[in-house]
Structure formats: structure tokens, C-alpha cells
Structure 1
């Protein structure tokens, strides 16, 4: 299929009248004819333009037509250009052989036959046009193929994302069902046991000295369910970019001491202890509720995977940031897992064997730290415990929504 492009033709002859006569024969609206009065001038034009055909006079002073043709064949840019020689030397076979050996595709003999000249030029121009059209079609096909490959890759990526989302949804529903069933089953069994005691008139089970422990067990199970529901709500808000922070002056040292105190019983139940190293005060501007959530998540994780060994929290100021580190001496985290544990529903296989959970705590923690323009990182090795470090600017100037999950 021809494409809309002008064909450039080069004619080379040392006689201006021959150039004019030849140009008059071969010119047309879809062609541009370039004239060169010598082989040297022709070489200059060949370096600037892409020609469909070169018509070269053999007998020229200085460099002749055969020598020009040999130079053209020796250059990658010009070796593909068809060459028609024009000669007045007759039709000797050895002369023609020399021309073809130099790279000619045809010969024209003087005096020129106008019909033969036009016919030959038309053939080579048509060949050039078809070659350009074929190259254009191949480029279009190559571009279409690349586009198709990109679309296939996008579809494959989308399919993988959908499959991952389906697996995540199924895992999430399974985990939620399991996690909620545990405290609900405990409460249900406790309620059945109390009903049994009441039906038998066994009121001793409800004596004043037993009631506090009974209430504490109920509250602990209820807190577990509330924590799970709050985590799910937070993730939903993050996915809708609806989670924001409300900043105000906060004493981080006081907040850390309160969180540690609130987790004393949980630490005792895990057979562990929590030590806190903090200054008398460390003031900054943060969302107190969300930072409390961060500290609680880090300490809860340390108790959960710390193997009953002591957990240390350090709160300190480092220049313009407040730094909080939580260290445990438990199962640790392999280097290849340290990045993904901050993503939603991501847990290591080792952690699944040690404790239940949805894999949301560190994801929510990272998002809250991001909202405060802070940073969170972990230093760990498998079997050697872990140290989580959070750095928070002392002043947060804007409350921006969480980035998309």
C-alpha cells in the first residue's frame, strides 16, 4: 500500500545541459530531483538525503561514475540505493560488466530513449514506494504487537491482583471468623456455665470474691473483639482515604507510661515484663489516640511473639523528632519478610504458628506513622528477636488522609 511520501531522485552529470534534460524527463509532483555536477557533490547530497534512485553518468572528470558507485556500496547509508549508469561509450560487454560489478542495476545509453528512461525510473520509484510502505506496515505491526504485549501484561497483572484480592478476601473472612469465634465461644461457655450454676442454686460461684475475676475475663474477651472490629474499621477508612489525624499537644513520655501500665496484665499473662526508659517529659504535636494505638500495637506484638521474655521500650528525643523503639527477644523476622509485614493481612509463616491475628496491626501502625510524616523500621533476624523503631516529627503541620492501601 503506497504511503504519502515524496521520492527523492539523484542525477549526476558534469554537463549542466544533460542534468536539465534528464530532470525534465523524470520529474513529477511526487518526486524531488537533486542535481550534482560531480561525484564529490553527489557524495555530499547522499549524506544529507535518502534517495530512491541515483542516475549516474559514467564519464566524469575526476572521480568517475564507477568509482562513485563503489564508494556508495561501501557505506551502510547508501549501499541500498539503486544505481542506473548513463554512458555514451557504446554497448561493449566488458564495459557493462564493469558497471554491474560496481553496483549498477541498469544501464542507459546515450542518446537517451525518453520512454525507456521514464519506464525504468517509474519501476524503481514504485519499488521504493512499496519498500517504504512495507517498512511502515512492519513498524505499525511491531507497535501493535508491543501494545498487545503490554495489554496482555496488564491483563495478567490485573488477573493476579484479582486472584490475590479474592485470596485476601477469603483469608480475611476465615481469619475474622476464627478470631471472633474464640472470644465469643469463651463468653458463650462462661454464660452456659453460669446458667448451670444458677439452675442448680449454686450461688457460691457468684460470691463477691469471685466476681472481679469473672468480670475481668468477660472484659478481656470483649476487648479482644472490640480490637478486631476497630482494626477492620480502620482498614476500611484507609482504603477510602478517610482516615485522618487530629493533632494537639501531647506528652509522649506520659502517654508511653500509660500504655505500658495498661498492658501490665497482658504482659503477666504472657509470662513477660515491660520495661520503659523515657524522659520525664517529651512534648510534641500529634494525634494522641492514634499514637497510643501505635505504641499499643508495637508492645502487643512484642508480647505476642516475644516468647515470654522481657520487652523493652525506649522513648527519647533525637533532634527534631521523637524516637520510640520496642525490643523483644522472641522468634524474630527473617530479612526477606521485613518489608511485607507492614502490608495488610501479611504475616510470616513462623508468626502464624505462634499466635493468631489478622495481620493488620503493623499495617495500621505504618499508616498512622505515615500520616504524621514519620518513619517506621525494623531490625531483626530469625530467632533473635526484633526491634521496631518509630520516628515522629515533633510538629505535624497538616492532617492529610492516609495513602491508598
Structure 2
């Protein structure tokens, strides 16, 4: 069904308005009357009109002046104007009317057939323009939606490409990291086979044998850590990484961790210093807290070999604070958040070993307890990772 077209008729004589409305009234057309230019301007600001039929000779503002005002306003400048006048052609009203922006000019007495024909033509033109405008708006909306869809597709494509790249890099890192301990174990096995082939049993006496077993254990533990990290990431993605809080002395745990890291610290010539109270009771997941500290110490040894590493534990507000400070290469400001994401490291993959999962797992474990972690670092001077934990674990959705 075509839209309703509004026609504005302006005349200072009521009988002329009634007669003109009677001529042009038909289905699909609504006629609005105004007896003055001021009244017409009020209607023009309220409605959209397909045509304005203006009487030229009106008191106050005449039809020509009203037309000039309409042409000077963005809202009304495109409304077709037809002038109606009782004056003769010798007054040259028609020329002035066209000069004011009229599209047609009628002389009184008005020919009913001419009026109806002109109204029909202008209403049809208005409906066509409206239809074209609607189509253009629909096309613009469709173009906008297509642009949004294209941007979404491009974003998805970039995310997929990044995911594929991360997968490939991850597989490459896993292969490299697993190959290192496996190669060491393989070479150890070859050396032992050689000793056996030469009947060199001295190589298997208690002292050298213990050294062999220690080396094997370190390589096997390295592989276990890699596998554990990958399993933890899988659990985190599935939302199944759970914590099991229990009461224990975290100061005792810290001393045990330091003792366990003595050999690793000695291997990279990193003196390890512990600053902790004699006792400090908490209710956290002991295994996961040990995992957090172990990951932070491993990073400190990896990025600051030959320099002292400080591990500190202290009470903080209603919880505890654990800090690991190294004197290594440091982290650039733009990388201090990125390093907590999956497979991200502050240095090039070729420079440092590891899967880039340690800090990601650390942050997830800390957050699972209701805690937080932050890093402060200066390039060339080292980094300090600080973990704040409640005394009693507060998993998400609790306390």
C-alpha cells in the first residue's frame, strides 16, 4: 500500500481553503490547511509534505516570501511549490513565482481538472522519491551490515590464523623441549651400552652410578613437568582445574621448596636466598602453591643465571605475600601483561627454553585461590613477581 501523502494549502480566505481541499481530497492524500504564512511554517516543521500550494496575496508574509523561507531551510527546501493567484499575468506574478522556487503557477479561477492532475503528478513523484530514498537507506543498511559481517569474518580469520600459528609454534616448542631430555637419556643409554660392550664395570660402581641416576631423574622430571603443564592448560580450558584447600604451614613449604631447588640453583650458579617467618599457617591448595613458587623460581633461574635470586614470604593484610626477585635481563614494559598469556614469553623462543605456559598457569592458580599476581621489572636490572593470596582460599563465587 502506498504511503499517505500530505498536501499543504495556504490561503488567508477560509472559503478558498475549503474549495481547494474539496478539489484535491482523495484516498491516500491528507490535506493540511493554513490561513497564514506563520501557520504554514508551523505545519512545515511538524510534517513532511509532498506538495505545498500557496496563495500569493496574503496579509503579513505573502506567498513569495514564504517560498523564499522554505527554500532557505534544509527541511523544506525540496518541497514542490505551486502558486495560486487571482492577479493577471500583466503583473508578472508567474515570473516572480518561478524566481522564488515555484514548480508551477495557477491563476484563479482554478481549473479543477488541472489542479487534480498536478496534485496527482506531484504526489506520484513524491512517492517515487520516497521509494528511492527507502531503497537507498535499505541498501546503505545492507552495505553497513555487510561491512560489519566482513569485519567480523576478518577478525575470525585473523583469530584462526593466530590459533593455527600458535598451534604450530606450540607443537614445534613441545617437540624441541621433549627432544632435549630424550636426547640426553638416549646418549646416556648409548654410553652405558658402550661400557657394557667393553666390560667396563667401573662405570657402574656406586658413585658414577648415582650420578647417572641423578642425571636420568632430572631429565625425566623435565619431561614430567612439560606434560603436567600441558595437562594443566587443558584443564584450564575446560574449566576443570580445581583446588583442594587444606591447612598447612606455608613457611615450612617454602623451606622445602628451597631445599629441593638447591641443585638447580647450583647448576646455574644462582645463590637462592629465602626470607620467611618461622611459621605461617594458611588454608590453601599446598600442591598448587608449590607449583606457583616452583614456576616462578624456574623462570628466575632461566632469565638470571649467575645472579642471586630472592624468595620472600610475609604476612600481608588478611593474607600472605610471596615474592620472587631475580637480577636478570628484565622485561620490557609492553610485555609485562603479555607474558601471563598462553605460549607467551618476554624473549625470543630461540633464546629461552620452555613452552610459555608457566606464568599462564601460575596466574590461573593464583586467581583460583582468590588472589592476584603482578610483576615489576626494569630492563637489564631484573624482575620481581609478587603474589598476594588470602589466608583461606576464596575461589570465584565465594566470600
TM-score normalised to structure 1 length: 0.94
Is 1:374 aligned with 2:362? no
Per-residue CA shift, 1:104-141, capped at 9, x if unaligned? Answer: 11111111111111111111111211111111111111
- Of 308, 311, 329, which residue of structure 1 is paired with 2:309? 311
Moved more, 48-57 or 244-253: 244-253
Question: What SS does the corresponding residue of 1:249 show, helix, strand or coil?
Answer: strand
Instruction: Give the corresponding residue for 2:115.
Output: 117
Mean alpha-carbon deviation: is it higher for 267-276 or for 28-37?
Answer: 28-37
- Does residue 1:102 correspond to 2:100, yes or no? yes
Pick one of 371, 392, 395 that aligns with 2:392: 395
Counterpart secondary structure, 1:390: strand
- The answer for the alignment partner of 1:403 in structure 2 is none
Return the offset for 1:251. 2.8
CA contact 1:322–1:392 (8 Å) conserved in 2: yes
Structure 1 residues 283, 92: closer, same or farther in 2, change over 3 A? farther
Q: Separation in 1 of the partners of 2:358 and 2:390?
A: 22
Q: Mean Cα displacement is larger for which, 266-275 or 97-106?
A: 97-106
Structure 1 stretch 73-82 or stretch 36-45: which is displaced more? 73-82
Which of 248, 254, 278 is 2:252 aligned to? 254
Distance 2:195 2:111 in 1: 124
Match of 1:210, SS state, is helix
The answer as to whether partners of 1:307 and 1:331 remain within 8 angstroms in 2 is no
1:281 Cα deviation after fit: 2.8
C-alpha distance in structure 1 between counterparts of 2:125 and 2:41, whole Å? 23
Deviation at 1:399, TM superposition (A): 5.8
Q: Is residue 178 of structure 1 aligned with residue 195 of structure 2? A: no
Q: Alpha-carbon deviations, 1:11-46, whole Å to 9, x = none?
A: 111111211111122222322211111111111111
SS, match of residue 89 in structure 2: coil
Alignment of 1:106-255 (within 5 A): 106-255=104-253
Higher relative contact order (CA 8 A, sep 6+): 1
1:43 aligns with 2:41: yes
1:385 to 382, 386, 394: 382
| Distance in 2, Cα, partners of 1:33 & 1:251 | 89
Deviates more, 1:45-54 or 1:239-248: 239-248
Task: List structure 1 segments (4+ residues) > 4 angstroms apart after TM superposition.
Answer: none
Q: Is contact 2:301–2:309 with CA below 8 Å preserved after alignment? A: yes
The runs of 5 or more residues in structure 2 that have no matched partner are none
CA–CA distance in structure 2, aligned partners of residues 271 and 92 of structure 1: 112
For the 8 Å contact 2:370–2:396, the answer to whether it is kept is: no
Match of 2:355 in 1: 358
Q: How far does the alpha carbon of each residue in 1:355-382 deviate from its partner, in whole angstroms, 9 at most, with x for none?
A: 3111111111111122122221211132
- 1:161-183 CA distances to partner (integer Å, 9 max, x unpaired)? 11111111111111111111111
| Structure 1: runs of 5 or more not aligned | 401-405
Note the aligned Cα RMSD (angstroms): 1.8
How many residues align? The count is: 398
2:19 aligns with: 21
